Amino acid sequence: MNKFIARLEKHKMKNFPMLIIAIAFVIFIIMIIGFLNQNDEDSSTIYVTEDAELRTGPSAAYPEIKSIDKGQHFHKIGKTGKWIEVVSNNKKEKGWVAGWHTNLDIQADTNPNEKPLKDKTIVLDPGHGGSDQGASSNTSKKSTEKVYTLKTAKELKSLLEKEGAKVKMTREVDEYVTLDDRNIKGDAYISIHNDSLKSSKANGSTVYWFKDNQKALAETLSASLQKKALLTNKGARQENFQVLRQTNVPAVLLELGYISNPTDEDMITDQLHRQILEKAVVDGLRAYFSQ
């Protein structure tokens, strides 16, 4: 047994220089890695490559301390996610800047609100249809509401689908659909109509809502129509319409102009003008679902 231990110790001693070299090599590698890391993470000076904001913390949710200009440079003192903690060279200003506004190779976060309508189900309800022609004009054009509510809905459908929305229609052809059958569920419900009155003077668009959970959508769409459309905007109003009453989803009824008014009729029957209204509705929906 003693012999065995003696032999073992002799063997260990023989390998001692090799062990020292191995340990030294490992320490050297660790130092190299440390040095490279330090260079990457603490490379002191960073430049602001576009006008940005200095914030109190590492996300856009933190309050803004001040705006910072393209070309300004800072000393980098930390990093959390894609945000860089910086201090000005005179040490007076300290805060966080988004990495993508700096010379560092950091890509901006994709904004989840860029496509707020993505995967949202929007129900479009073209008013009237079939034996129910809705309102009609008094001019030689003899325009009927059911034709233009369907055209508007179809055009709106393709715009919404480009935004990633799923669109359901209560009718896709010239057919009669009862009000009960128009009750289809979605994330938002838009019933499309044209107004009419005996007097040819009445004109403009109105956005109707009935239940409390419909008011915000109505006001958002009304504001968007006000901004874009050429029709006079009569605002968002509360009215007890069956299509609004019978659903629990945010729903509105759009009266997009008076078909009984010759000027409005021209706009209703003009595809370019309809497109302006439809884009206003898409903008309004985007704003509504971004909130």
Which parts of this chain interact with Zn ion (CB under 5 A)?
127, 134, 193
Minimum CB distance to Zn ion smaller for 84 or for 255:
255
Residue among 12, 94, 110 nearest 57 (CA): 94
We find the least distance from the C-beta atom of residue 167 to Zn ion, in angstroms, to be 20
| Strands lying side by side in the sheet with 73-80 | 45-47, 73-80, 83-87, 94-98, 52-55, 64-68
In angstroms, what is the minimal distance from the CB of 205 to Zn ion? 13
CB 191 within 8 A of CB 254: yes
Residue 117 or 231: the one with the smaller Cβ distance to Zn ion is 231
Q: Which residue has tokens 């206003």? A: 280
Q: Taking the complex as a whole, how short is the minimal distance between the CB of residue 190 and Zn ion, in angstroms? A: 13
Q: How far is the CB of 203 from Zn ion (least distance, A)?
A: 16
| 175-189 as b/e: b if 16+ CB within 10 A | eebeeeebbeebbbb
d(CA 84, CA 58): 7
Query: Which is closer to Zn ion, CB of 149 or CB of 214?
Result: 149
Q: How far is the CB of 253 from Zn ion (least distance, A)?
A: 8
Q: Choose between 127 and 204: whose C-beta lies nearer to Zn ion.
A: 127
User: In terms of Cα–Cα distance, which of 214, 211, 167 is closest to 186?
Assistant: 167
Nearer to Zn ion, 165 or 256 (CB): 256
